Amino acid sequence: MSEDMVNLTIDGQNVQVKAGSTILEAAREAGIDIPTLCFLKEINEVGDCRMCLVEVEGRRGFATSCIQKVEEGMVVHTNSKDVLEARRVVLDLIISNHVRDCLTCVRSGNCELQELAKKMNMTDIEFQGSMPLHKIDDVSPSIERDFNKCILCRRCVATCKKVQGVGAIDCINRGFDSCVSTVDNKSLNDVNCTFCGQCIEACPTGALREKQTINEVWDKLQDPDTYVVVQTAPAVRVALRRRIWNGYWNKCNR
């Protein structure tokens, strides 16, 4: 055995991975599914959501697989009765503090929280927590922020800091009042947000979304007194120009 490799058993399957790997990485290499919500590889590996809990033989309690490093001879169970029940309780608590307007949500059908609830057959919520009542931030020209749908996974925070290098948002307050916001809880329009939209890509729910102007566009298209001019974005123009040039070049060289 190479000194750089570690052998362990996951759900009865022998797995060999590089030393320093996490249980989650080892499980994924073996094709074993462990649910996650807050995890983003190399960006947000903090174990906040606790959805990736697993059982390690010989250890008390559960291990958070996205941050727990593998060890030689480790025996892991990802789907035992106790593990599945613990995950259901965690998900129940997350949903209990989440606005459930899925039918009208922009992320309906493309929401990681919704998909996980379906996968775990969550048909009822045992814990009826107090619902957050936060004002929707729709002042900026590009992004709408609805903290009532936030699950505090911090993926947007990590992406803004580590990927974009901006740091326009962070977690503020404590306990039940904790939320992802800006300095002095200002609008995104009034801080150093560049409206790049990477936080929207990172968000697993509908807490962050692009501002929609579809209705306004339809109104203009149907207005007989309005002249509509369509212009493609620069990146699209470059792609079209390159495609046309390549077609012309190939034609000339036949």
User: Angle formed by the axes of helices 112-119 and 81-96, to 10°?
Assistant: 140
- Which phi and psi (to 5°) does residue 40 adopt? -135, 115
pLDDT digits (tens, 9 = 90+) for 176-200: 888 899 999 899 999 999 999 999 9
Residue 1 confidence (pLDDT): 47
CATH code given to domain 5-92 = 3.10.20.740
Are the beta carbons of 177 and 122 closer than 8 angstroms? Answer: no
pLDDT digits (tens, 9 = 90+) for 5-18: 999 999 999 999 99
Residue showing tokens 């190399």? 42
**98-117 burial, b if ≥16 CB within 10 A, otherwise e?**
bbeebeebbbeeebbbbebb
Residue 247 has pLDDT above 80, yes or no: no
Report the C-alpha dihedral over residues 163, 164, 165, 166, rounded to 10 degrees.
-140
Pairing verdict, β 75-77 and 63-64: unpaired
- Which phi and psi (to 5°) does residue 102 adopt? -60, -35
Q: What residue type is assigned to position 142 of the chain? A: S
**Class for domain 97-210, per CATH?**
alpha beta
Domain boundaries, the chain: 5-92, 97-210
pLDDT digits (tens, 9 = 90+) for 104-161: 999 999 999 999 999 999 988 887 767 767 889 999 989 999 999 999 999 999 999 9
Query: What phi-psi label fits residue 12: left (phi over 0), alpha (psi between -120 and 50 degrees) or beta?
Result: left
Quote the pTM value.
Answer: 0.82
